[in-house]
A and B are shown apart, each in its own frame.
Chain A
Amino acid sequence: MTTTPLLRVKGLTKTFRMYHLDSMLHAFEDISFDLYQGEFLLLRGQNGAGKSTLLRTIWRSYLPVAGQVLYTSSHGEIDLANAADVDIALLRREEIGFVTQFLNARPRVAAQDIVAEPLRLAGATQAEALDQARHWLDQFGVRPELWRAYPSTFSGGEQQKVNLARALILPQKLLLLDEPTASLDVGARAALVRRLADLKSQGVAIIGVFHHPGDVAELIDREINLNTRVIADQSAEEDHVAV
């Protein structure tokens, strides 16, 4: 663990303006925390407490209205709360990962190619990347006969395995996890926990939302409970997460 935090969140606040209703919606207010390399932070809170919204605000699918998200990138420190879009895009390619429960399947791209792509983009040879991709598909329990098939037709659980293999193939500096264990079978869940432990020991910092935090109990270093920090607005997440 180094002395400078990887991430320093200060006074982060998110509200949504909804012009068609002439109203606003508080998601969370004045969130502050530090996160160090190799740390695993669990976000707790009931539905609508703003857990996913906080992850998405750090990832910058949502634009915050106040606060700072100071991130120590390998290119220097930057405030993710107001960084230029192209800088965010760069960090998403190189060092910040986001795992949801939804696979972005593309027509006519084989499972193994979807998984290998981050390695290819990072400069690995096709052979290396495919080798790694098959290893991780195997680890997550995707049967070999599916590796060359197109995942658009896979079941939810199988798609999620492909999704995880892709998201976790390349160690990043910061990993955001939004309920990654939803719809996973026991074997895949165990593989996920092993991989996360592995990444954590390599220094990857992780912020996660889990429906069953027990799945990752041994990895958790710290928790933030969003219930006690904000007045939950039930509709906040439901309205926006699904868009």
Chain B
Amino acid sequence: MSLDLGLPALERAAPRLMRTEPLLNMRDISKSYGNVRALRDVDAAVYPGEVMGIVGESGSGKSTLLRMMNLEDTPDSGNYTLRLPGRENENLFDLTRYERRMLCARNIGIVYQNPHLGLLMKHSSSGNVAERLLIAGERSFEVLRDKAREALDASEFPLDRMDARPIELSGGMQQRVQLAKAIALEPALLLLDEPTTGLDVSVQALVLDTLKRLQRDRKITMVLVSHDLGVIRTMADRVMVMRHGEVVEQGLADQVFQDPQHPYTQQLVHAKL
């Protein structure tokens, strides 16, 4: 016989006061790799200017979901819309590979845990940032250099090193170059996949601070994936908790950390302290 755990928390209603629509809307995303169910019926809605955190352990599907948001991969089923001018009702997974690439370059920025995924390590840092702008069609050398400089500056990268190659830079600086590249085109959506994992704690704090600053000044909508609850707690407005490819709980960040509802989330939160 199961013990009495009392009533569950009240079911939350649909938004009523919020007048704006979500920028990002994913519905019923499922994906299997062979026999492995990577994502199962995942829904996600992220509103303009929000930071959505996704937590979960390795293999929970959080990075797979982020790659779908970045249109690097498509699901077996499901729908994905971004409220970009003229594209409001378009399922982005229906676009051709070329269209997806262009849409991504212009509207979505991403920072990976591993800078090798996001950067050409043997090209200059400024060149890495400018490449983004080239893909989007910018051709003037002056404009490219100015915009690259501006993006690096906004990412708090030391400008006297803008011609250094990422391979010569520290981990924290490499992440700033990735960030500059990601924001150079002022994307509607910024995706962050474990952006500070593996950095020294002090460097991690500085990179997080830069992200907060950018978020505050530019109101960029962000989705942040991390297994580090401290990082999520510092950054996120709302949190999705994933396990075995499913979202087991979501809520306001303070609520998920202070009053976790799902047994798995309780275990995560208790393990943290």
Contacts and interface: CB of A to CB of B under 8 A. Distances in A.
Interface residues of B, number: 40
Contacts of A64: 9-10
Contacts of A145: none
A34 to B, nearest CB: 20
Question: Chain A: interface secondary structure?
Answer: mixed
A138 B180 CA distance: 39
B251 A20 contact: no
A132 interface: no
A91 B259 CA distance: 20
Contacts of A24: 4-6
A106 B18 contact: no
A65 B6 contact: yes
A32 B257 CA distance: 27
A86 interface: yes
A231 interface: no
Question: Chain B: interface secondary structure?
Answer: loop
A179 interface: no
Interface of A: 13, 15-20, 22-24, 26, 56, 60-66, 73, 75-76, 78-79, 81-91, 106-108, 117, 240, 243
| Top 3 closest pairs, chain A to chain B, by CB | A63-B9, A19-B263, A24-B6
Nearest to B22: A86
A82 B11 contact: yes
Given A20-B270, A63-B255, A240-B259, A76 B7 contact: no
A243 B267 CA distance: 13
Contacts of A87: 15-18
B258 A23 contact: no
B212 interface: yes
B14 A84 contact: yes
A73 B252 CA distance: 19
Contacts of B6: 15, 17, 24, 26, 65
B15 A61 contact: no
A175 B17 CA distance: 19
A80 to B, nearest CB: 10
Contact of B259 (A26, A63, A81): A63
A51 to B, nearest CB: 16
A76 B16 contact: yes
Interface in B185-240: 205-206, 209, 212, 216, 237-238
17 contacts: A26-B6, A56-B258, A60-B252, A60-B255, A62-B255, A63-B9, A63-B10, A64-B10, A66-B10, A83-B12, A84-B13, A84-B18, A85-B12, A107-B206, A107-B209, A117-B216, A243-B273
